[in-house]
Amino acid sequence: MMAKKRRLRMIVLLCALLVAAGGIFVAWEALGVSQWQQLDEDKLLNLAQTGAIYDKNGAYMTTLVGRENRTVIDTSRLPDHVVDAFLAAEDLRFYKHPGFDIVRILGAVVTNLRSGEYAQGASTITQQLVKLSHLSSQKTIARKLEEIHLAIQMEKRFTKDEILDMYLNFIYFGQGAYGVQAAAEVTFGVDAAELSPAQAASLAAAIKAPSIYSLQADAEANRQRREYILSVMLEEEMLTQEEYDQAIQEDLTALKGASAATEYGWFVDAVLDEAELQLDVTAEMLLAGGYEIYTTLDPEMQQILDKQFTSNVFPANASDGTQVQGAAACVENASGAVRAIVGGREYLTRRGLNRATHLRRQPGSALKPLAVYAPAIAYSGWTCASVILDEPTAFGTYKPRNAGNAYYGNVTLRTALKNSLNIPAVKLLEAIGVGNGRKYLAAVGIPLDDRDSNLSLALGSMTYGASPVQMAAAYSPFANGGIFYSPYFIEEIRDRSGAVVYRHQDSGTRVLSTQNAYLMTSLLKSVTSSGTGSRLSSAGTPVAGKTGTVNMTGGGNRDVWMNAYTPALSVCVWMGYDEPDANHRLANSVSGGTNPASLARNFFKAYYAGRSNPDFTRPDGLVNVTIDKKAVQWRGEPMLATSLTPDSYRINEVFIKGTEPTKKSDVWNPPAAVKSFYVTHNGEGYPQLVIEPSESAVYRIQRDSAGESIILAELRGGKGETLYYTDAKARPGVTYTYRVIPVHQELLDNGILLEGVQAVQIARVEQSESGLTRWLKDLFGASEKNQTGGEFAVSAVP
């Protein structure tokens, strides 16, 4: 019995071993362990690796620098607080773990599970170094395990101090500086061994993302992360309380240094930002990784755009000499490819603030087509001629006003957008729902905060705002038939071996029908031809667009925008101060339709000179009808013009077939003739006209005699009333002809009289000493009658 039990245990154990071995084999193959790299010291010690960037034609633009600005030093000579700053920032347990930190890994897992996203990493300094020097940017379990595998190898082959030495000489700090020595020189003009605790923490803060956290890129972001690092150093007793207090109080300013003016500098910076994102690599790995990056840059277009920023098109500087800043972006409508950008008046700092891509400002009325008009047409069936009442309106506690506090009564969507009227925009967003406005904005790549969920969104009020690149791309669907393409700078990236590691792919997302896209372009062409963007009317090419102006409390403007597009290209121009305040604000006279519009116009004129400039393509399924402007104003709806509508009140409008109005305008129809009209006398020998109206109208009394024709009076009356008029100025012996001319009361009120179309009654009267002799005749040639005394009724003219 015992022997059988032993055999059974042996069989179970053998089976378990076979299952375990099988599991190990499957995992081995699945994770590709056999293909994992071995640690290559050459990659750690020989750091000379350069790359290149090319334009859309494949022509060389610039070099990606690897070691040109790296000074390798023996970091053992650095003060403790310098090394400690990096340990506090990146790997506090560096000297305690074997290359990977299970404590940090577990902590990161918990944090990421709580946040529902990859919010926190757990890479040690050793892992960062092997990742930067040996591995791709893939986020897979296999790559992470290979990273740990290499980190363990590195820990076995090198001492902790050697690893830290390689790390501090390898990493990128921004401003072209590799390694702590170059970073100390570029940022503070000192040797790394002379760095104060605050300076060391400032450099340590930068390596997380130099374009965001370096002192040169964003002093406030650097300060916040620097103070966090210093607090960790205090907590870990790397600093005394006195040293910490001094470090917190120390005021840091980065060296201005020599100009970083570089051809295509703004564009190159945006390319590097995008490459880091697409490859999921840090700046140091990208610049020292030997990559070849093929971009969307159009060098000719870029040069033309650059030239506009050197012209005298900007508003005057502030009283203290601070320049009004500006930025612009040009996006190809057919693909989303960014062809040219300018991120400021002057390029001074590599990877600094690029206003074309980094800026987040409220777009003002430039957001109206995106947040209001496009979703109203696309989602709710509004047309270009739909009517909204423009009058002072309170939306609960929200009380927007039109510019100049001027209001225009009933207006069409076209008029409201052309003149950038605020009340109609807010009413329209209220009608379609804020959710639909947000839906469309999200569809065209405009970032929104949860707080951007109120009616002020109609006027471009946002928590954070948008960039010129985002705004330019968001307008492209209007030009290309309704397809949104995310804006991009890179077509393809190849690694040092020539293998393609990234290629842009985007088939686009339909956000509008081709007909609705054309309707939006039709509306926005009105803006540039005769509305707030009319400076674009002389652009030398068919163009549509919208202005945007953001006011400041107390007067003046904060931001001014011009979004304009042709069939091929969408352009956005922004102007304003980096830090607007009471002393740095644009004048009230500066709006999106002034300086930004002029810059956009000048760019288009220069770019399209000598180029074909076709108009926007009109799709099938549209019809044009002529509507009556007065019907819009008085009836509050679009109505078809009739033969009676004067030319000056006829408006040609475009509709999707089936949505055009069918009701004919009645505002110009002449009122019917009076029911009856006769002449008697008032007992004193004067003619007295007695009129019975057939409808509500104004009845104009006209008296004609030899050598004289005058209007005696205008009597207002309606059906069921009797009107009397005595001509107390009639003279004996004179023959008078009286005409009763019905006129539209509302037309008369507005100074409009249509001669020749009213029904008219005529009475001819000879005033004599002995009484009244009447000759009564209608307008259409009825026979005369001669009577004395009594009353004579004149039938209404048919």
> How does 169-206 read in b/e, with b if 16+ C-beta sit within 10 Å?
bbbbbbbbbbbbbbbbbbbbeeebeebbbbbbbbbbbb
> Side-chain half-sphere of 663: how many Cα atoms within 13 Å?
10
Residues 6+ apart with CB under 8 A from 552: 558, 580, 585
d(CA 307, CA 716): 66
C-alpha distance from residue 36 to each of 28, 129, 178, 447, 501 (Å): 11, 17, 28, 40, 19
Contact 630, 649 (CB under 8 A): yes
- Residue 175, both tokens: 């401003």
d(CA 599, CA 605): 10
Contact 385, 332 (CB under 8 A): no
DSSP structure class, residue 258: S
C-alpha distance from residue 386 to each of 328, 517, 665 (Å): 34, 17, 15
- Residue 693, both tokens: 């109206």
DSSP structure class, residue 756: T
Check if 90 is active-site.
Answer: yes
Residues 6+ apart with CB under 8 A from 705: 734, 735, 736, 737
List phi, psi (to 5°) of 116.
Answer: 75, 15
Spatial CA neighbour of 502 closest among 743, 271, 336, 675? 271
List phi, psi (to 5°) of 586.
Answer: -80, 150
Residues 6+ apart with CB under 8 A from 232: 88, 89, 92, 238
Contact 270, 338 (CB under 8 A): yes
d(CA 360, CA 583): 21
d(CA 122, CA 99): 11
Which region holds residue 50: left if phi is over 0, alpha if psi is between -120 and 50, else beta?
beta
Contact 51, 63 (CB under 8 A): yes
Residues 6+ apart with CB under 8 A from 318: 324, 577, 583, 584
Spatial CA neighbour of 261 closest among 146, 346, 331? 346
d(CA 515, CA 502): 35
* Angle at 129 (CA atoms; ends 126, 134), nearest 5 degrees: 120
Residues forming beta bridges with residue 325, ordered by sequence position: 576
Listed in sequence order, the DSSP H helices in 690-775 are 745-749
Residue with tokens 């492209």: 476
Contact 571, 600 (CB under 8 A): yes
- Residue 293, both tokens: 């990056």
In angstroms, how far is the first alpha carbon of the chain from the final one?
128
- Residue 431, both tokens: 């009608």
d(CA 212, CA 210): 5
Spatial CA neighbour of 63 closest among 77, 49, 53? 53
- Residue 359, both tokens: 């800026």
Residue with tokens 């690149």: 469
Query: Which of 123, 202, 365, 467 is the catalytic position?
Result: 365
Check if 708 is active-site.
Answer: no
Catalytic sites, residue numbers: 90, 365
